[in-house]
Amino acid sequence: MQRVYNFSAGPSALPEEVLKKAQSELLCYGTSGMSVMELSHRSKDFIAIFESAESLLRELMRVPDNYKILFLQGGASSQFAMVPLNLMNKNKKADYVNTGTWSTKAIKEAKRYGTINVVASSEDKTFSYIPELDPSKFDKDADYFHITTNNTIYGTRYATLPDTGNVPLVADMSSDILSKPYDVSKFGLIYAGAQKNLGPAGVTVVIVREDLVGNAMEFTPTMFNYKVHIDSDGMYNTPPTFGIYIMGLVLQWVKEQGGVEALEKINNEKANTLYNFLDESSLFKSTVKGKDRSIMNIPFVTGNEELDAKFIKEATAAGFVQLKGHRSVGGMRASIYNATPLEAVQKLVEFMKKFEMENK
């Protein structure tokens, strides 16, 4: 069985080197005589895996010392509640920008805990752009300001981050963490599900500025309290051990590629390869324009649903899989995260050219 070109939005392609390394260590990790999956989370071997993953992430993202890193469970979706429960603790209000399905869900969840001011939305055009932000609409007394840096379904991303002054910026970075350098010091909190750029599903990374933690709402469930996890060095309960191990391998791989700056270069090249073709094509069209275009998720359409279905069917048969767009956008979407090689995008474009010729 041959491996395919996997364009899934998540869980998504992992670096082949990582999978091979995990395969070689699956039965016996180091000198432990057992699999990582069988190691106690309190064992010396696992603590070393845990600490190495944390320090690699700190190094790669240049996380300042006054930020804590947590490896939690529950996916980014749990953070939709955990963020307000822990951070909406002074004035019980927060600003949100609505740039897609995940922002909408984050807003809905946060509304359970306080007053949410939606400062801008791009819902009017199926979230195909990042709305202009008018700082006069920002609430200076908001406990935080929430954005989704990259919108997985709609293929948009912030070209520049909003300046929120003293109001902590909180970001759902699930689909573009480690794809390009972000200045962590500009954020109060960053969260991301691992299953795109970091590793397998099951680990959720949270990077939080220390001074924001410690005032969770009184009724916050213990497991939803950042302070509980920080105070127990991430071992309040059993962390997702195998996922953290794979994430550590992915982070090591990122370092070997030259770090986030090097990956950004390749990611731009990958995205430009596809966008340049889409902009010239007489059949396929990109659904997003200009600076808002994501370099991770690229939706495109032919404008004809039957032709879209034919393309997806033929692409799948040719080994280009998971190209079906999200149902709210239709058409196709190529997710090209860090682990997708340039070659996969080049081959996809070749295939699209051929399809275009055959379906004029």
Q: Using CA atoms, how far apart are residues 179 and 103, in angstroms rounded to an integer?
A: 20
Considering only the stretches 40-48, 171-179, 209-217, 240-248, report the one whose residues sit in contact with ligand PMP under the rule CB under 6 A: 171-179
x-or-dash string of contact with ligand PMP, 174-193, rule CB under 6 A: xx-----------------x
Q: Using CA atoms, how far apart are residues 171 and 146, in angstroms rounded to an integer?
A: 6
Of 21, 27, 355, 74, nearest to 240 (Cα)?
74
Under the binding rule (CB under 6 A), the answer on residue 170 touching ligand PMP is no
Catalytic residue at 124? no
Rg of the chain (C-alpha set): 21
SS (H, E, C) 291-355: HHECCCEEEEECCCHHHHHHHHHHHHHCCEECCECCCCCCCEEEECCCCCCHHHHHHHHHHHHHH
Catalytic residue at 308? no
SS (H, E, C) 91-122: CCEEEEEECCHHHHHHHHHHCCCCEEEEEEEC
Sequence-distant (6+) residues with CB within 8 A of 188 are 87, 144, 168, 169, 170, 208, 209, 212
Residue with smallest beta-carbon separation from ligand PMP: 75
164 is in an annotated binding site: no
Tell me which of 68, 95, 143, 172 is the catalytic residue: 172
Catalytic residue at 172? yes
Sequence-distant (6+) residues with CB within 8 A of 340 are 5, 6, 7, 12, 13, 270
Tell me which of 180, 196, 270, 324 is the catalytic residue: 196
102 is in an annotated binding site: yes
Residue 208 near residue 185 (C-beta atoms within 8 A): no
x-or-dash string of contact with ligand PMP, 122-161, rule CB under 6 A: --------------------------x---x---------
**Closest approach of ligand PMP to the CB of residue 174, in Å:** 4
The smaller minimum CB distance to ligand PMP, of residues 75 and 299, is found at 75
Q: In sequence order, what are the beta bridge partners of 94?
A: 116
The smaller minimum CB distance to ligand PMP, of residues 8 and 302, is found at 8
273 is in an annotated binding site: no
Residue 193 near residue 201 (C-beta atoms within 8 A): yes
Under the binding rule (CB under 6 A), the answer on residue 10 touching ligand PMP is yes
> Judged by CB under 6 A, which of 172, 267, 271, 338 binds ligand PMP?
172
The smaller minimum CB distance to ligand PMP, of residues 86 and 302, is found at 86
Q: How many residues does the chain have?
A: 360
x-or-dash string of contact with ligand PMP, 235-274, rule CB under 6 A: ----------------------------------------
Q: Which residues bind ligand PMP (CB under 6 A)?
A: 10, 75-77, 102, 148, 152, 172, 174-175, 193
Which residues carry a binding-site annotation for L-glutamate?
42
Question: What are the catalytic residues?
Answer: 102, 172, 196
Which residues carry a binding-site annotation for pyridoxal 5'-phosphate?
76-77, 102, 152, 172, 195, 237-238
